[in-house]
Amino acid sequence: MALKSLNQLRRVREALLRIREFWLRRKVGVVLGPGVSISLSARFAPMRRGDICVGAETLVAFKTLIFTRDLATGESRPVRIGARCFIGGGSMILPGVTIGDECIVGGGAVVFDDVPARSIVTGNPAQVLRSDIEVGPLGRLKGADDNTRRLYVD
């Protein structure tokens, strides 16, 4: 049977996402808030249960790596991601980092230091591009047209 639309695979995708979320919570020990959306290709590497906490209504995009083992000392340093954040594709969150509520981490960013709430960070190492932003669920910019124009005009 040929597929007429990719929507026919929607139920399979939703089932896989539920299984992945269950596995992350029960086996890996990641603490996930309500309404979290995590890509199937995102990778979490905690040393202990509860070392990685992801706040409510946060989106973690594809090929993101979050780990808690400090390679220099070998000890575990917890990672905290706030509520209503967007973690861009291919980004890396290093051990001991705290990302505030309502933040956007750009694609490919390498986050070494804590990120203040309501800000956009990007680059390697990640630097604050903009502060005092307004976001909705899953880190979507409110009034995206206005905010995006201001990013490039200022």
Confidence check: pLDDT of 6 > 80 = no
pLDDT at 145: 57
Q: Do the domain assignments include residue 9?
A: no
Q: Do the domain assignments include residue 4?
A: no
Q: Do the domain assignments include residue 23?
A: no
Q: Do the domain assignments include residue 43?
A: yes
Given a contact cutoff of 8 angstroms between Cβ atoms, the answer to whether 95 and 79 are in contact is: yes
SS3 category, 17: helix
Q: Do the domain assignments include residue 93?
A: yes
pLDDT at 153: 43
pTM for the full predicted model: 0.85
Confidence check: pLDDT of 57 > 90 = yes
Q: If we measure between CA atoms, which residue out of 72, 77, 106 comes closest to residue 92? A: 106
Domain harbouring 49, CATH code: 2.160.10.10
Given a contact cutoff of 8 angstroms between Cβ atoms, the answer to whether 70 and 47 are in contact is: no
Q: Do the domain assignments include residue 5?
A: no
Q: Do the domain assignments include residue 8?
A: no
Range of the domain at 68: 29-153
Q: If we measure between CA atoms, which residue out of 98, 109, 103, 108 comes closest to residue 132? A: 103
d(CA 4, CA 151): 40
Confidence check: pLDDT of 36 > 90 = yes
d(CA 112, CA 93): 7
Q: Do the domain assignments include residue 92?
A: yes
pLDDT at 152: 47
For the chain, the domain total comes to 1
Percent over 90 (pLDDT), the chain:
77
